[in-house]
Structure 1
Amino acid sequence: MSAGLVALRLARRNVRRSRGRSALIMTMIGLPVLVIAAVLTLVQTMEVDPREGLVAELGTADARLVQAPKGTVLRQQPGGASWHPGGGDAAAAGSAEVAALLGPGTRLIPFNAAVLRLGTERVDALETDLRDPLTSGMMTLNEGRLPAAAHEVVVTPALGLRPGALLRPPGAAPLTVVGVAEHPHRPTLRKVVGPDLPLASMDELWSPHEYGSGWLAGTAKPVTWAGVPALNKAGLYVTSPAIIPGPRPFLLGVEYTVGLGAMVIMVVLETVLLAGPAFAVGLRRRRRELAEIAAQGGSARHLRTIVLADGLVLGGAATIVAGPLGIGAGVLGAQVAARWGGQVGPADVPWTPVLGVAALGLLAGIMAALVPAVQAARQDTVGVLAGRAPAVADRRGWPLLGVVLVLVGLGATVVARRQPGTVWVWAAAVLVMIGLVVLTPWLVRFTGRVAPRLRLPLRMSVRDAVRHRSRTASAVAAVMAVTATVVAMGIGAQSAFMDRRNAYTSARPTGTLAIWGGTMADGTWSRLRAEAVRQLPGVPLTAGYQANDAQGRRYALRYTVRWNGIRTRRTAAIGDQALLRLLQGRHDPQAAAALASGKAVVFDAAAVRDGKLVLRAGSTSGPPRKLEVPAVVATPAAEHQGGALLPRTLVEQAGFSTVERQLYAMYRPSADSTLGRDLAKVTPRVSVASEDGFSHVPSPGLWGWLAGALVLVVGGTLAATRLAAADMRPERSTMMAIGAPPGTLRMVVAGQALYISGLGALVGLGAGTVTGVALSRPMTTYGAGDPATIALPWPFLIAVVVGLPVLATTAALITRTRLPLAPRPL
């Protein structure tokens, strides 16, 4: 039998004999494999590409044809589609014309996708016959039956209705729910489907993939690009399997390669550092067995092979278990996530990346066993058989190598932070991380100098940690790597959030409703204003004005200012004292007096120089003009508010006339408000906007990363603590023999956990802060002159750097410490 097969048999026997340690190693190796495979599968499953989404749009039809609004110029090409109002008066295509365009053997069924009003609520609705074979697959019936008559509908589960319920659209007959059906990819969709629905007109919100009417077509031959121009000319937007592009070829760019390489190195490094101490536990326990093999003629190569076989067996077993579990978790997670919002496609596993991750896990298992294998080959056979502890020898050149790698990594970080994208920063961080890993044994020895100043339990813990530096350094480096990664991501995410908050700006206070009328006659504006008053009863409306030249051409008066380092163009408002009070949220006597005297009131201090505001008057049909007007700086109602207000007299002195074309109010429309559509019935040239303020929230993913760090830090620390407890059996037995209480023994074990997690967290904090600050520049700058935003999430950092060591120490305190008395060799 070959030495390799013998080593595998010994490894299998050792796995069965040490089930707890084997399970720990498999967990440490398999956890990254499981998480990465789950994330890859989840993302791939939740991504519904155009081909996967065809069934929900077309059913079994060969084409979906959506009629564009009258006068729309429509053009589809392989590179994309465009449509815009063309002003034509061509009549909409009828079913006979469409059938003729598609050729003989065509069968059409109509559909209309719009919204249905149910009291104050609006839900998506589809008017079509779900019993027709062409619609098969568009909805999946879960309960009841499909609608067969007018006023019968099916609803999606998100509406919370059962068969027999009634829907009461205003001004129409009630609709009876006869079934519950689910969208294939959007389980949270709120939708009503039936053959005869009182739908609201959606011409102003026409979208070929959301709202519009048309036909599902079954054709004798596929609808290809050759027939699309004629259908577009008839005002029909075409969706067909034959014109959906296939998957794009995968291109491996430089940045992608660097990012992938950095991720691979980090994953392997972290897995090796986590599983390394557990392999060292096995080496300690098998030291005598290996020495006996060496005494019977086993060579150093045989000993290395035996220990590496442990890594191969455990890494392979962990990968075999974690891979399928990760795939299953990803598919299940996609279904669960879709229930909270979003979409989900058929179960889709990206086999190439998943198999690569599996190979990575196997490689990590072998790499984690590499250092113990080298140590096993170099152990002193006589000393081990005599029961003497092996001597620890440091490699003199390693601290210097670690310092060089750290310095090179810091230099690369300085260069990388000025590059676009974050890939180069992470690549530089890998160099820093590797340098710190190499430097960790020296850090352990250096910090061990504080041991004489500590109390007895902690003094014994630190001295034991320094004596077994190979074991301690691996655990400290693992905690350091996790902490540095999480701290860097926390600082980057917080900086990006603060940059978004600082960059947010508005020209109106939060809670302001604005109604703008474009170029229109005075009579049209009067009707629009009257409709706005009717739609907003009891809401005070403040007038704003528009500047026109002598030929009636509309002009916008704009100025440029830097906000958060970015050049921002603002349009100055024109109004009176009432609009000034609305923009300031109070009565400001000085600003009111300046406006009354004909000066501009500006809320951007940087825009006013020497008491002047420079404006550019621009028009789509007239020549531009430059204006310089007197101005004063005032304080707006909101912190992130800018803008300027010009008095009508000032604008008229510049040669313009002013007409009322804007209305403002402190009013928040409800989510289902139809104000915009109701005003658009008077004239389509109206615009309605609501200022909702900065609504982003800090990334909740930070605390998810904290949970992952908790698992890795506590798990890695406890693995090293178990090894320390095994190595300290003689000392602990002696302490028990002389009457040491259990609390003292627990403190010795907990001291190991505190030392390992505390040192790793402190070093990781420094490394992570450097990387996080470097990440903040490419994540928060968008051009020359835009300063980087650096923000530290203090609660998050305290939870990582203080909370994780405290949890690891607490977990170690409950570790069993009482041992049976055993004789010590003298």
Structure 2
Amino acid sequence: MSAARAALRIARRTAWRSRGRSALIMVMIGLPVLVITAMFTLVETMAVTGREGLVAELGAADARLTRVPAGTELHQDPRGGGWSTGGRDDGGPALGAAEVARLLPPGARLTPFGTGELHLPTGPVEALSTDLRDPLTAGVRTLAEGRFPSAGEVAVTPASGLRPGDVLRPVGAAPLTVVGVVEHPHRPSLRQVVGPDLPLVQPKRFWSPGEFGPGWLAATTRPVTWSEVPALNAAGLHVTSRPMFEEAAGSRYSPANVQHAIGLGTMVIMVVLETALLAGPAFAVGLRRRRRKLAEIAAQGGSARHLRMIVLADGLVLGGAATVLATAAGIGSGVLGASIVARWGGQVGPPDVPWAPVLGVAALGLLSGLAAALVPAVQAARQDTVSVLAGRAPSVAARSERRALPLAGLVLVLAGLGAIAVARRQEGSTWVWATAVVIMVGLVMLTPWLVRFTGRAAARLRLPLRLSVRDAVRHRARTASAVAAVMGVTATVVAVGIGAQSEHLDRQRAYTSARPTGMLAIWGGTMADETWDKLRAQAVRRLPGVSLASGYQVRDTTGRHRYALRYTVRWNGIRTRRTAAVGGQDLLRLLQGRHDPRAAAALASGKAVVFDPSAVRDGRLRLRAGSTSGPARTLEVPAVVATPAEEHQGGFVLPRGLVEQAGFSTVERQLYAMHRPPAGSTLAGDLAEVSPRVTVASEEGYRNLPDPGLWGWLAGALILVVGGTLAATGLAAADMRPERSTMTAIGAPRRTLRMVVAGQALYISGLGALVGLGAGAVMGVALARPMTTHGAGDPATIAVPWLFVLAVVVGPPLLSSAAALLTRTRSGVGRASWG
């Protein structure tokens, strides 16, 4: 039998005998593999490609044609998703099925396929009007219960909560009987009613291609090509056909660039290093318990290479088993999670596994297992066979760490600090993380020296803590691994917290608007004066008692070309373009939130009122007048600086007279008011019924909250730190069994024994958390610059989430020591040997 095969057999039997330790190691190795694999699988499964969603979109048909709202000009791009509007305010006559069939290749067959809303007494519900019995609709909805509906009948989706036999009573229409339950192939949370003759009502919201509208499914004798799409668009039809969903040949992934490769390598190093440090103490536990068996193998002729091979085989067996189980569990969890998440909202496709990244993660897990067993393997090869067989405790402190190790660690830390000072000025955070790895490796190499240095304070501690710290210093190899693991987790989480909080504060400072919070704006596009008058009258009816201020659209003297008067400023380091608001005193009062006599007098005298002081030089404001259909111009106007209603506000107001003196004409096409539409308001839909070229916007202010995912990082840190600390504490308790037996013999209470074990946990996690806090603060400050700067000269924003950092640094040590304090301690009085 070969030595490698024998080592694997020994590792397998040892793992089975020590099932608790083996399970702990497998969890530490497999948990990252499971989580990452599950996320990859979930995202891939929930990403429904165009080809996967083709059946739900077209059924067995060759194309879907949707009639666009009146007055909309459609220009689809080669992917079928681009569109634009403009032109007439009223559309031509709506086409019927016969007219549409004449626009398609000869021999085309059409079946109605319209989407909209069905108005019920309880409110509107999404509806699909088509005959599911028609072969062209095969696969659009699958039958789960009952049968497909005929005239006067409907089918519902499971999310509607209805069953066959129930009756729906649409507003102003005949009752409809539910005869079946149907499911959308990719949207299990969809709440929809399907029937062949539904009284559809179009939603009062802005239309986008394929969203809603009456239409048809078409079976054609040949594919509908792009040469035919412009004619169908001109006829007011949006086209969806199978050639539009043909996936482009070639790889789905873009070529990796240098930063991507460096970022991937950094992630690999961090994961392997952290897993090795976490699982290392657990492997060391196994080495302590197997010391005598390994010594017997050495006494029978086993070489140091054989001993290393046996311990490394532990890492291979446990790492391989953990990787296989975690990968399988991750794939299953991802597929199951996708179906569960889709029931809350979203879509789900067929089970799909991105094998390349999943296999890469599995290889990473296997490598982590080998790396975790590497240090115990070296220790096994160096153990004194005679001392072990004689029953003497190994002289751990006798082989002190080499002086070159702390020195090399110090050099790496200093080099990493210098490199991170340069990396923080580079674009992107990848370089910061790459140099942070150098600092982390240096701190890992310095950790044994830190353990020995902090052990000098043991003499001033109470007895239980003094015993804990001195034992930790004696077993520096075991303690340093656990401390370094805690340090790595803490540093990473603190750095992420500082970076995320800094980015949040920077975005909050960078937020700017031309209107104060709570201001309603109604903008009319290109439309006739008669249409605007109707739109204005409708706005007045829908907003009774609300004072409306007029805004004006800038055009050339002929009134044919629209112009925008703009200037550019830097706001929080970002180049921001401001567009003029043209109006009078009522608009200025809304933008300032008060009456400002100085600003009002300036506006009345024909000057611009500007809310960005940096834009005004020597009392003049330089503007660029741009148009998509006319020549651009540059002009300077007199201006004064005023204070807006809120600090995030910018922009400027121009009086009509000043604009007209500059050679332009103005026409009212905007309305403003300090008014917040209530939830569920149909104002936008009611105005869109007058003209689809109206835009309704309500200024809500800065609404983003700090990233809630930070507390997920905290939960992960708690699991890793507490788990790694308890593993190291278990090893310490095993090594201290003789000391605890002596303490029991001389009458030490059980509470004291528990305090010794809890002291080990507190020392390991506390020292690691403090060192990690320092390293994480440096990394977080470095991360803040590339995450919050927007060009040369823009200062970085640095913010510390103090509550989060306090929880990260204090929480894990307290939990670890509390868990160790509650651990049952067993000790027996050792028997003395008399010579």
> What TM-score, normalized by structure 2, do the two folds share?
0.91
Looking at structure 2, the residues matched to 372 and 240 of structure 1 have their Cα atoms a distance apart, in angstroms, of 60
After superposing the two structures, state which structure 1 stretch, 611-620 or 413-422, moved more: 611-620
1:627-678 deviation per Cα after TM superposition (whole angstroms, max 9, x unaligned): 32231322x3333222223445555665666554322122223454332332
What is the aligned partner in structure 2 of residue 42 from structure 1? Answer: 42
1:197-243 deviation per Cα after TM superposition (whole angstroms, max 9, x unaligned): 33334799443332344332334555566776776676552320675
Residue 476 of structure 1, aligned match among 470, 475, 483: 483
CA contact (8 A) 1:68 1:237 kept: no
CA contact (8 A) 1:228 1:238 kept: no
After superposing the two structures, state which structure 1 stretch, 308-317 or 604-613, moved more: 604-613
Q: Is the aligned partner of 1:283 residue 2:287? A: yes
Q: CA deviation at 1:460?
A: 1.5
Residue aligned with 1:369, SS: helix
CA contact (8 A) 2:491 2:777 kept: yes
Distance 1:300 1:353, change over 3 A: same
What is the aligned partner in structure 2 of residue 538 from structure 1? Answer: 545
Q: Is the aligned partner of 1:268 residue 2:251? A: no
After superposing the two structures, state which structure 1 stretch, 691-700 or 783-792, moved more: 783-792
Q: Is the aligned partner of 1:240 residue 2:242? A: yes
Q: CA deviation at 1:680?
A: 3.2
Report the AA paired with residue 259 of structure 1: G
What is the aligned partner in structure 2 of residue 319 from structure 1? Answer: 323
Report the AA paired with residue 708 of structure 2: P
What is the aligned partner in structure 2 of residue 453 from structure 1? Answer: 460
Looking at structure 1, the residues matched to 364 and 483 of structure 2 have their Cα atoms a distance apart, in angstroms, of 23
Report the AA paired with residue 713 of structure 1: V
What is the aligned partner in structure 2 of residue 185 from structure 1? Answer: 186
What is the aligned partner in structure 1 of residue 507 from structure 2? Answer: 500
Looking at structure 2, the residues matched to 30 and 283 of structure 1 have their Cα atoms a distance apart, in angstroms, of 21
What is the aligned partner in structure 2 of residue 23 from structure 1? Answer: 23
Distance 1:84 1:785, change over 3 A: farther
What is the aligned partner in structure 2 of residue 33 from structure 1? Answer: 33
Residue aligned with 1:273, SS: helix
Distance 1:121 1:352, change over 3 A: same
Residue aligned with 1:529, SS: helix
Looking at structure 2, the residues matched to 424 and 299 of structure 1 have their Cα atoms a distance apart, in angstroms, of 44
Residue 710 of structure 1, aligned match among 698, 718, 721: 718
Report the AA paired with residue 15 of structure 1: A
Distance 1:796 1:143, change over 3 A: farther
What is the aligned partner in structure 2 of residue 775 from structure 1? Answer: 783
Q: Is the aligned partner of 1:111 residue 2:113? A: yes
Residue 639 of structure 2, aligned match among 619, 625, 630: 630
After superposing the two structures, state which structure 1 stretch, 481-490 or 65-74, moved more: 65-74
After superposing the two structures, state which structure 1 stretch, 283-292 or 205-214, moved more: 205-214
Distance 1:707 1:583, change over 3 A: same
Distance 1:163 1:344, change over 3 A: same
CA contact (8 A) 1:300 1:377 kept: yes
Distance 1:168 1:632, change over 3 A: farther
Q: CA deviation at 1:473?
A: 1.0
CA contact (8 A) 1:154 1:181 kept: yes
What is the aligned partner in structure 1 of residue 736 from structure 2? Answer: 728
Unaligned runs of 5+ in 1: none
Distance 1:327 1:501, change over 3 A: same
Q: CA deviation at 1:57?
A: 0.6
1:332-390 deviation per Cα after TM superposition (whole angstroms, max 9, x unaligned): 22222223322221221122222222222222212211111111111001111221322
Looking at structure 2, the residues matched to 659 and 101 of structure 1 have their Cα atoms a distance apart, in angstroms, of 40
Looking at structure 2, the residues matched to 813 and 627 of structure 1 have their Cα atoms a distance apart, in angstroms, of 76
Looking at structure 1, the residues matched to 811 and 205 of structure 2 have their Cα atoms a distance apart, in angstroms, of 55
Q: CA deviation at 1:609?
A: 3.9
Residue aligned with 1:716, SS: helix
Looking at structure 1, the residues matched to 556 and 79 of structure 2 have their Cα atoms a distance apart, in angstroms, of 44
Looking at structure 2, the residues matched to 672 and 733 of structure 1 have their Cα atoms a distance apart, in angstroms, of 73
Residue aligned with 2:113, SS: strand
Q: Is the aligned partner of 1:389 residue 2:394? A: yes
Q: CA deviation at 1:295?
A: 1.6
1:509-541 deviation per Cα after TM superposition (whole angstroms, max 9, x unaligned): 222111123455554433322111112223232
Distance 1:502 1:271, change over 3 A: same
Task: Give the alignment of 1:745-764 within 5 angstroms.
Answer: 745-764=753-772
What is the aligned partner in structure 2 of residue 579 from structure 1? Answer: 587
Looking at structure 1, the residues matched to 183 and 292 of structure 2 have their Cα atoms a distance apart, in angstroms, of 64
Looking at structure 2, the residues matched to 758 and 566 of structure 1 have their Cα atoms a distance apart, in angstroms, of 42
What is the aligned partner in structure 1 of residue 137 from structure 2? Answer: 135
Q: CA deviation at 1:435?
A: 1.9
After superposing the two structures, state which structure 1 stretch, 53-62 or 597-606, moved more: 597-606
CA contact (8 A) 1:384 1:390 kept: no
After superposing the two structures, state which structure 1 stretch, 247-256 or 702-711, moved more: 247-256
CA contact (8 A) 1:203 1:212 kept: no
Distance 1:5 1:554, change over 3 A: closer
Unaligned runs of 5+ in 2: none
Please provide the CA RMSD for this pair: 3.1
Looking at structure 2, the residues matched to 492 and 118 of structure 1 have their Cα atoms a distance apart, in angstroms, of 50
Q: CA deviation at 1:41?
A: 1.0
1:46-98 deviation per Cα after TM superposition (whole angstroms, max 9, x unaligned): 11111111122112333333445677454543697555557799987764566
Task: Give the alignment of 1:225-374 within 5 angstroms.
Answer: 235=237, 237-240=239-242, 243-246=245-248, 248-249=250-251, 250=253, 251-374=255-378
Distance 1:363 1:651, change over 3 A: closer
Q: Is the aligned partner of 1:148 residue 2:150? A: yes
Q: CA deviation at 1:731?
A: 1.2
Identical columns (%):
71
Residue aligned with 1:394, SS: coil
1:372-430 deviation per Cα after TM superposition (whole angstroms, max 9, x unaligned): 11111110011112213223320221112222322333333233333333323222222
Task: Give the alignment of 1:668-747 within 5 angstroms.
Answer: 668-747=676-755
CA contact (8 A) 1:566 1:785 kept: no
CA contact (8 A) 1:64 1:240 kept: no
Q: CA deviation at 1:286?
A: 0.9
CA contact (8 A) 1:63 1:241 kept: no
Q: CA deviation at 1:313?
A: 1.6
Residue aligned with 2:411, SS: helix
Looking at structure 2, the residues matched to 408 and 116 of structure 1 have their Cα atoms a distance apart, in angstroms, of 68
Residue 495 of structure 2, aligned match among 488, 495, 512: 488
Q: CA deviation at 1:719?
A: 0.3
CA contact (8 A) 1:746 1:817 kept: yes
Q: CA deviation at 1:23?
A: 1.2
Q: CA deviation at 1:574?
A: 3.3
Distance 1:657 1:775, change over 3 A: same
After superposing the two structures, state which structure 1 stretch, 31-40 or 669-678, moved more: 669-678
Looking at structure 2, the residues matched to 643 and 225 of structure 1 have their Cα atoms a distance apart, in angstroms, of 44
What is the aligned partner in structure 2 of residue 215 from structure 1? Answer: 216
Looking at structure 2, the residues matched to 44 and 23 of structure 1 have their Cα atoms a distance apart, in angstroms, of 30
Distance 1:72 1:514, change over 3 A: closer
Residue aligned with 1:681, SS: helix
Q: CA deviation at 1:681?
A: 3.4
Looking at structure 2, the residues matched to 453 and 310 of structure 1 have their Cα atoms a distance apart, in angstroms, of 41
Aligned length: 824
1:149-186 deviation per Cα after TM superposition (whole angstroms, max 9, x unaligned): 13x33333444444455555544445444444332222
CA contact (8 A) 1:278 1:720 kept: yes
1:92-114 deviation per Cα after TM superposition (whole angstroms, max 9, x unaligned): 77645665676566443221123
Report the AA paired with residue 452 of structure 1: A
What is the aligned partner in structure 1 of residue 196 from structure 2? Answer: 195
1:2-27 deviation per Cα after TM superposition (whole angstroms, max 9, x unaligned): 32232222222222222211111111
Residue aligned with 1:288, SS: helix
Looking at structure 1, the residues matched to 551 and 122 of structure 2 have their Cα atoms a distance apart, in angstroms, of 30
Distance 1:228 1:674, change over 3 A: same
Looking at structure 1, the residues matched to 632 and 311 of structure 2 have their Cα atoms a distance apart, in angstroms, of 83
Residue aligned with 1:77, SS: coil
Q: CA deviation at 1:618?
A: 4.3
What is the aligned partner in structure 2 of residue 466 from structure 1? Answer: 473
> What TM-score, normalized by structure 1, do the two folds share?
0.92
Looking at structure 2, the residues matched to 223 and 522 of structure 1 have their Cα atoms a distance apart, in angstroms, of 40
